[in-house]
Structure 1
Amino acid sequence: MKNTLAVSLAALLASAGFAQAQGVVNLYNWGNYTHPELLERFTAETGIQVNLTDFDSNDTALARIRQGGHGFDLVVPSNTYVQTWVDEGLVQPLDPEIVTDRDNIAPQWVDVDFDPGREYSVPWAWGTTGVIVNTSVYGGDVNDLDLILDPPEELRGRINVIPEMSDVMSMAIYHAGGDSSCTTDMDVLRQVRDNLMAAKPHWLALDYGTVDSYAAGDLDAGIYWNGASMRVRLQNEDFAYGYPRTGYPIWMDNLMVLADAQNTENAMRFVNFVLQPENAALISNFARYANGITGSEEYMDEVMREAPEINVPEELVAAGRFGQACPQEINDIHAQIWTELLQ
């Protein structure tokens, strides 16, 4: 009887532990990018608790997952990294029995080059990378990368550049005359290296989480994302966002389920959850980026609809270029330039 009771108790505890494990999902996402209400709403609907951990760059996230033993179920890489995650077997295909609402993805974001047919990913948010400027300090053209690469005196020492290699390298390549972020033109790449190294002494920092620093007036210009720039402007109306005429990146961050996820079914349920327009709108209302989900606009804050950071001026639309995944030999050259810049 005693042994039977012990076995029964052990089975009960094991079952309880299993149930608890099934009641969580672990999300690995960019910092300051996830609306708390989104997670609360998912838990209220499903009973599944979401544990959120932040990363600060695509390279950081990729390195962490490659190491293994991370405990995450979901990750949000940018489009230029998606194929690497797939090729290295770090993510798994979406389960069509659970992720049933991929029809909500806007048509232009379905058959994308980085994940044809959306076998592995769904949109989280998309946007542009450009220039942010304090117009009370600088009164000239904001659509000019020379504000960062050859800054006027009033901005020197007051500039921050996001330390995201693919964004910064792409903008510098376009500025140097490259027709693609993956250019093999060594003259262009040498010019990029020289331009960045010459500009760096005029920068104050290479940092990510700077919304509050801009809003407080601690920074006056930088390379920044459109949604983050909008968040700055809503706190300090002196700031404006510019689209460099020489070219600027268009990107999309994407939600994916990790191959070694411990809570796969819960992860798939979360993926389907963010495909609902009202939930996708929460992502946009918090981070101030578009999301790629049809019908989400009607749930977005009014301030999003006419925002200059979201609506590209017609004459600058053609300067936007969607990011590419470069061949390894080109990535190696970019990494060499980037490593030198960060030293």
Structure 2
Amino acid sequence: MLVRRLVAPALAVLLAVAPAAACSRSDPAPRVVPAPSSAEIPEPRVLAISVDGLRPDVVERLGPEGTPTLHRLLAEGAGTLNARTARQRTETLPDHTTQLTGRRVDAARGGHGVTWNEHRPGSTVRRAAGGPVRSVLSEVHRGGGEVALFVAKQKLTLFQRSWPRAVDRFVLEADPPRLVRRAGRDLARQDRAFTFVHLPDPDAAGHTHGFGSTAYDDAVREADRLVGRLLARVESEPRLASSVRVVLTSDHGGTGLRHDDARRAVNYTVPFVVWGPGVAAGDLYDLNPDYRDPGDGRPGYGRARQPVRNGDLANLSLDLLGLGPVPGSQMNDEQDLDVAAS
């Protein structure tokens, strides 16, 4: 597991004994560093961030001046601006369900079955799939960890209904700055293993003014600022800075006022970046030769070398936490997406 790879070097240093060089009787005896207690090695934590409707080409165009936080994550972490959504859908609810389950959409082919993109009271992923579906939320709960979800859209209450026992805290807050403040406080006060934060600004601006419009650019800048506030909270305390890994992606891009055509590259291309202690710096495809940069393409799930997908979030997060993959998942189900620094 990745956690073991991250912790092992630290243990080796802490357990090191002074060199056994010959010394005179007057020399002090070599000092043995005592083994660290469990309290000195913080439990790993994951902060997953989904920036709704974030177009990678706009992040590139705005550059480090317009999106300094996202560019910092890309420079210091393992990332790509050429990841893919679920192949069948480029919409908020289906793709967020893919992020949390690691499954494709089509229920007839083992997918989660969430094909709609509006709030449906009483709906659950189990009903959509026609049977039980596990998720990163259920697996963290089974592993003894706590889960918190902070979302800005009512339709994402689907996840609280679908895995009620696994969600220790659920916050629906339409105001993004307030949502981030509440998430930041929870990060500092609680030792949640998995925290999920959904930021809606780019999607809202895209639907109202157009994806790629001036208003959309401003919304991307604001989302970058809010991600920066979450990072600042993480870095404000050594306990958080040494334990929290960030996984950031998006559910879709967009063009004009829409993003529902899953055949358009501007809709199915998303960022995916991992950042934190023990995470390598570099391009995700360079770090993972078993994965293939798809260029402008839209490869299916049968390809031997898959692109990085936003659905990799579920099993990568579990790997970072030292837990096994989501049963029934189809993306990164062998947890072979490697982000560990060598």
Please say whether Structure 1 and Structure 2 have the same fold, judged by a TM-score greater than 0.5.
no
TM-score when normalising by structure 2: 0.26
Structure with the greater alpha carbon radius of gyration: 1
- Name the TM-score, length of structure 1 as normaliser: 0.26
More helix by share: 1
